[in-house]
């Protein structure tokens, strides 16, 4: 409950968020063809054969739904890896922003899908594009306890000390919004090994080490004190 309340507070004080799955509809400012609509539907449903057929029928690989989501973003948000692979092979943009300022790459930090990360990497995603919280993918992944994702994404050269609009880094979110359990201990270890600054403070001047001490996260304190 404590973590949920803090998350609710962040929603109240920051603009932004995550893409969620949903039914696709044509965008009002981007008229889609029947082939475009079939592409969006197939990507959302995780139907790689349908994606191929729609592309063969002339669908625009960057067609948008009513929320400005492309087929690749829909596939990424729903973790439809094979559908995403078809789209990447067809040249779909991993950096296409929707109306919530999410991209196919950014949502991998929310889902924690390492498989999707691997599919998108060859497409050359921009690791510096931020979501509407001002965060990059490693930050929501650290907050949500996606250990395997964090372990993989830090090897891409992503900036582990990036600060979002709340004044939090991935390490700060791991401590502040995590619960101190084993996944968060592992993430703290991974981030520190990747160069995370344990003394980088939040907007109130409090660093991750002090936050961990205040919460009684003794294992994380030990990791950050090395």
Q: Which of 105, 132, 159 is the last residue of a domain?
A: 132
pLDDT of 5 higher than 80: no
pLDDT of residue 30: 54
Q: Are residues 102 and 138 in the same domain?
A: no
Task: Write out the residue range of the structural domain in which residue 28 sits.
Answer: 17-132
91 is written with which tokens?
């040249």
CA pseudo-torsion sign 66, 30, 96, 202: negative
User: Could you give the number of structural domains in the chain?
Assistant: 2
Q: Are residues 191 and 97 in the same domain?
A: no
The mean pLDDT of 99-127, rounded to a whole number, is: 98
pLDDT of residue 85: 98
Q: Are residues 177 and 117 in the same domain?
A: no
Q: Are residues 187 and 112 in the same domain?
A: no
Q: Are residues 123 and 37 in the same domain?
A: yes
pLDDT of residue 217: 98
Q: Are residues 149 and 223 in the same domain?
A: yes
Torsion of CA 102, 190, 152, 3, to 10 degrees: -40
pLDDT tens track for 165-175: 999 999 999 99
pLDDT of 79 higher than 90: yes
| CATH code, domain carrying 149 | 1.25.40.20
Q: Are residues 88 and 177 in the same domain?
A: no
Task: Collapse the DSSP code of 16 into the 3-class scheme (helix H, G, I; strand E, B; otherwise coil) and give the result.
Answer: coil
Q: Are 144 and 114 in contact (CB under 8 A)?
A: no
Number of C-alpha atoms within 13 angstroms, CB side, residue 63? 27
Q: Which of 111, 132, 153 is the last residue of a domain?
A: 132
pLDDT of residue 33: 96
pLDDT of 26 higher than 80: no
CA pseudo-torsion sign 52, 53, 56, 60: negative
């Amino acid at each position: 409950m404590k973590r949920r309340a803090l998350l609710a507070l962040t929603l109240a004080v920051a603009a932004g968020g995550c893409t969620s799955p949903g039914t696709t509809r044509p965008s009002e400012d981007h008229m889609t063809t029947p082939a475009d609509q079939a592409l969006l539907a197939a990507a959302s449903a995780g139907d790689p054969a349908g994606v191929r057929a729609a592309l063969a029928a002339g669908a625009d690989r960057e067609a948008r739904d009513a929320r400005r989501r492309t087929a690749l973003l829909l596939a990424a948000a729903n973790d439809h890896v094979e559908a995403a692979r078809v789209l990447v092979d067809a040249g779909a943009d991993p950096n296409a922003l929707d109306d919530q300022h999410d991209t196919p790459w950014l949502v991998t930090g929310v889902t924690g899908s390492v498989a999707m990360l691997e599919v998108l990497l060859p497409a050359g995603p921009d690791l510096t594009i931020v979501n509407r919280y001002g965060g990059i993918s490693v930050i929501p992944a650290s907050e949500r306890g996606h250990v395997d994702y964090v372990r993989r994404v830090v090897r891409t050269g992503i900036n582990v000390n990036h600060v979002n609009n709340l004044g939090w880094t991935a390490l700060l979110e791991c401590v502040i919004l995590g619960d101190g359990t084993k996944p968060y201990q592992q993430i703290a270890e991974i981030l520190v090994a990747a160069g995370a600054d344990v003394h980088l403070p939040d907007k109130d001047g409090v660093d991750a080490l002090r936050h961990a001490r205040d919460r009684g996260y003794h294992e994380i304190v030990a990791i950050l004190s090395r």
